[in-house]
Amino acid sequence: MLKKAPVTYLGTETRIEGVFWAKGKVRLDGEVRGSVQVEGDLEVGPTGRIEGERVEAQTLEVHGEVRANVRAQKVVLAKTARVYGNVVTEVLDIEAGARFVGQSLAGETPQALPSGQEG
């Protein structure tokens, strides 16, 4: 039986200051002022906003605003996204209408898993 990854939801009336860390899938419709680290997927909804030093996740999907440097295996900027900061990713997908101000380093090959493990 497969275990479902936990889901963390931060609603529109939620505001966090400091370092936010989570494991699993995270949907952010509120505001985080500080660094964000997610061991899993992070979705910033249309009303979501992150302002801090860095954002790290397996996959980052942005519909709202991010003002931070980003590191993720895959980054998707929807047409409503506003990203201000540098992005390091293997895959960068930017929809028409998205605003991205910064530098990107895309196409890096992820590090190999230790022997005996598969992705």
**What is the structure's pLDDT at 115?**
37
Distances (CA, A) of 115 to 67, 111, 118: 37, 12, 8
Cβ neighbors of 67 (< 8 A, separation 6 or more) are 49, 50, 51, 52, 83, 84, 85
Q: Confidence band (pLDDT; 50, 70, 90) for 2? A: low
| Mean pLDDT value of segment 87-104 | 96
Tokens representing 10 are 């931060």
What percentage of the chain reaches a pLDDT higher than 70? 85
**What does DSSP assign to residue 2?**
P
Q: What's the pLDDT at 1? A: 54
Question: Which tens digits make up the pLDDT trace of 26-61?
Answer: 999 999 999 999 999 999 999 999 999 999 999 999
